[in-house]
Amino acid sequence: MGKNNWEAVDKYLDKFVLDEDPILEQVLTANKDADLPPIDVTPTQGQFLTIICTITGAKSILEIGTLGGYSTICLARGVGADGKVVTLEKSPKHAEVASKNLEHAGLRDRVDIKIGSALESLMSIQQLSPKPTFDLFFIDADKENNPKYFDTALQLSHPGSVIIVDNVIREGSFLSDSNDPNDIGTKQLLETVRNYDNLKTTVIQTVGGKGWDGFLMATVY
């Protein structure tokens, strides 16, 4: 058993469990045509994000790391017509592709794409008066800044908010003493989270079409 089987099982689940989704399929085609890296959440993970929105009743979401908007669409579906997603993306090209994909999905009006370094966008959001809060966060950009993204998310949260961080396992590479900034970011994130006493946190390892990885999920008290 190994990676090939994980991929085969995910392919099966995509067809057997999920409904056909021409919109998300078109997103992947558009992303490929624009040479975006294929690092979107997988279809079953995307559906998981939509379900989490539904379960929590989240109406305001902050996403960090838009890429072509695959996960953004899943979140925007989850918040419903009266919900809003703010998504942060440093690459104007990625943001442009995402904007078109969201338009095509009929969801552009519930999504605000903020172009620029996420740390800078987060600072401007924090300076808004009144300071907004978000019901759910999906952190999925450069992994080395995850500790800072997490801290800022907490500052923009309220009791009951949910914070999800993608790619916190990356084949467990953070266990070896590597100098990879992504691994350092992951270790610091786990330390950061451990030091708060107003959180209930879990990390779920995953296998599938994108290999062995996992996500962190925390609720705020």
Q: Which residues bind ligand SAH (CB under 6 A)?
A: 39-41, 65-67, 70-71, 88-91, 94, 117-118, 140-142
Question: Which tokens in the block code for residue 58?
Answer: 């989240």
The interface partner of residue 183, options being ligand SAH, ligand DHB, Mg ion, none and the CB cut-off 5 to 8 Å by kind, is none
User: Does residue 89 bind ligand DHB (CB under 6 A)?
Assistant: no
H or E segment and range at residue 133: none
User: Does residue 166 bind ligand DHB (CB under 6 A)?
Assistant: yes
Residue number with CB closer to ligand DHB (89 or 166): 166
The interface partner of residue 110, options being ligand DHB, ligand SAH, Mg ion, none and the CB cut-off 5 to 8 Å by kind, is none
Give the CB-nearest residue to ligand DHB: 39
* Residue 211 beta carbon to ligand SAH: minimum distance, rounded to whole angstroms: 14
Distant-in-sequence, close-in-space partners of 219: CB < 8 Å, separation ≥ 6? 160, 161, 162, 163, 199, 200
Residue number with CB closer to ligand DHB (142 or 196): 142
Footprint (CB under 6 A) of ligand DHB, residues 26-45: 39
Dihedral pair phi/psi, residue 204, rounded to 5°: -110, 120
Q: Where are the alpha helices (DSSP H) in 35-155?
A: 43-56, 70-79, 92-104, 118-127, 146-155
With CB under 5 A as the contact rule, the residue among 167, 193, 206, 215 that binds Mg ion is 167
What contacts 24+ positions apart, CB below 8 Å, involve 188-196?
188/146, 188/147, 189/146, 189/147, 189/150, 189/165, 189/216, 190/216, 191/147, 192/147, 192/150, 192/151, 193/150, 193/218, 196/154
With CB under 5 A as the contact rule, the residue among 161, 166, 174, 183 that binds Mg ion is 166
Residues at the contact surface with ligand DHB, assessed by CB under 6 A: 39, 140, 166-167
